[in-house]
Amino acid sequence: MARQIIQKELAGACVLRLHAAEQDLAAALHDELPLRNDDVTVLAVTVSLRVEEHVVDAARQRQRARHELELDEMDRRQARARMEFLRNELLADPSSARLYSLLHLSPRLGGPPPGSDPDELVRQIHQWHPESRWVLVAQTLQTFLDRLTDDNAQDLLKILRSAVEALGYRQLAADLAAAEERE
pLDDT at 63: 92
Identify whether the C-beta of residue 160 lies closer than 8 Å to the C-beta of residue 167: no
pLDDT at 82: 81
pLDDT at 112: 58
pLDDT at 104: 55
Q: What share of the chain is helix, strand, coil (3-state, %, to 5)?
A: 70, 5, 25
How far is Cα 140 from Cα 128, in angstroms, rounded to an integer?
15
Show me where the domains of the chain are located: 2-51
Backbone angles phi, psi at 75, to 5 degrees: -60, -40
Low-confidence ranges of the chain (pLDDT < 70): 1, 93-95, 98-116, 118, 121-122, 125-130, 183
pLDDT at 54: 93
Which residue, among 108, 90, 86, 111, has the nearest Cα to 99 in the 3D structure?
A: 90
b/e burial code for range 134-152 (CB count within 10 A of at least 16 → b): eeeeeeeeeeeeeeeeeee
How buried is residue 161: exposed, middle or buried, by Cβ count under 10 Å (0-12/13-18/19+)? buried
